[in-house]
Amino acid sequence: MPLLEAVGKAAPGDKQPLPHRVLGRTSASVSILAFGCGSRFLMYEEEEKALAALHHAIDLGITYLDTAYAYGDGKSETRVGKVMAARRKDVFLATKIPDR
């Protein structure tokens, strides 16, 4: 199923509505679309809206999250952490650290 078609048909509760691939050598199966927790995620001034957007993305089948401390000086990781309290088993979480 083409990606845009899969996204268009996605609905909360669908089982893997988006295509998945094995991530490198990890053997982890992740959605081919990621949720980037940088600038667009941080544009939400109200934290509740940001958390709702992330929950909605996971509900629609996005299982790969990308964040970093550098995104909003820790704001992104803090927000992601609040969602992970309830959804950690649902996603593959990637983060990055600043240079030493």
pLDDT one-digit tens code per residue, 21-37: 999 999 999 999 999 99
User: Nearest to residue 12, comparing CAs of 83, 62, 47?
Assistant: 62
100 domain-assigned? no
Task: Give the contacts of 14 (CB within 8 A, at least 6 positions apart).
Answer: 60, 61
7 domain-assigned? no
10 domain-assigned? no
Q: Identify the pLDDT of residue 98.
A: 79
70 domain-assigned? yes
Q: Identify the pLDDT of residue 35.
A: 97
Report yes or no on whether pTM surpasses 0.85.
Answer: no
Q: Distance between CA atoms of 97 and 95, rounded to whole angstroms?
A: 7
Q: Identify the pLDDT of residue 4.
A: 55
Q: Mean of the per-residue pLDDT values for the chain?
A: 89
What domain count does the chain have?
1
Whether 89 shows a pLDDT value over 90: the answer reads yes
Range of the domain at 87: 15-94
79 domain-assigned? yes
54 domain-assigned? yes
3 domain-assigned? no
Q: Distance between CA atoms of 48 and 63, rounded to whole angstroms?
A: 20
